[in-house]
Amino acid sequence: MTALLASVRSNDEALDAARAGADLIDLKEPNAGALGGVSTGDIAWIVRELRARYPVKPISATIGDVPSDALDEIAARVIEVSDTGVDYVKVGVTGGPAARRCLEQLANLPAAVVPVLLCDGGISGGMRGGMDSETVAHAAALGFVGVMFDTWAKDGSTLFDHVDTNTLAGWLRLTRARGAMCGIAGSLGEAQFEQIRALAPDVAGFRTALCVDGRRSRLDPRRVAQWAEALHRRSGGLHATDVAADSFEAGAARA
């Protein structure tokens, strides 16, 4: 079964997503970038509210969009976010010369870090560079609790526009072989459902496909429920709930 990670920006969205069946609640601010950070004060408050109602549901949070060579800033933000009580701290990592050192530092921090490997070039690279198998192998060897594959630019392209399915499948196998959970994200929607099912990652992350009108709009708990059911089933398509298909397709098309 693939678990549904729902990216939320507020306490109301977090509670809605949890009630609707999201397996993992991920805190980030879409107005602040691909991995935009929620303030640590708000993260701590949301964690308290969620834990009071859903004590065993995992919670992650991002540190914000920080270049991979800003090692001191990354370390400070990781510790600040970890101290809020989240289960996992997500950090975007761009492919290129800074990636190896960044990953090594993250692996040695006193926090449960999940590196998010940016497959479209990341913060400093735009469409250039991307992710490479050597960096993925290095990340897998460092003992992280999990590794995710995502995109930085929210320009209408998806993860599968930057990494072919066979390569991504190999990266997921490598990550699992080292004992880490593996996840994918990156403007995923209905058009990518069969590819997600075929890859069967441990976690699939969504924001835009769960929202009313694009990633910066309000999360729709009906769409969370639809995606949770679809990902948890062993077979079948995406339209198995009572959510109107035309409403869903209108939102997914904006991914």
By residue count, the chain amounts to: 255
User: Is 124 strand, coil or helix?
Assistant: helix
Buried b vs exposed e over 138-151: b needs ≥16 C-beta within 10 Å?
A: ebbebebebbbbbb
What is the C-alpha to C-alpha distance for residues 3 and 25, in angstroms, rounded to an integer?
A: 11
Is residue 90 part of the annotated active site? The answer reads yes
Is residue 57 part of the annotated active site? The answer reads no
Taking residue 2's Cβ as centre, other Cβ atoms within 10 Å add up to 20
User: Is 83 strand, coil or helix?
Assistant: coil
What is the C-alpha to C-alpha distance for residues 254 and 54, in angstroms, rounded to an integer?
A: 31
CB 68 within 8 A of CB 122: yes
Cα 15 to the center of its chain, rounded Å: 18
Beta bridge partners of 147: 182
The phi and psi torsions of 133 (rounded to 5 degrees) equal: -65, -30
Candidates 77, 90, 215, 223; catalytic one: 90
What is the C-alpha to C-alpha distance for residues 87 and 158, in angstroms, rounded to an integer?
A: 27
Candidates 7, 14, 20, 28; catalytic one: 28
User: Is 103 strand, coil or helix?
Assistant: helix
Residues that are catalytic: 28, 90
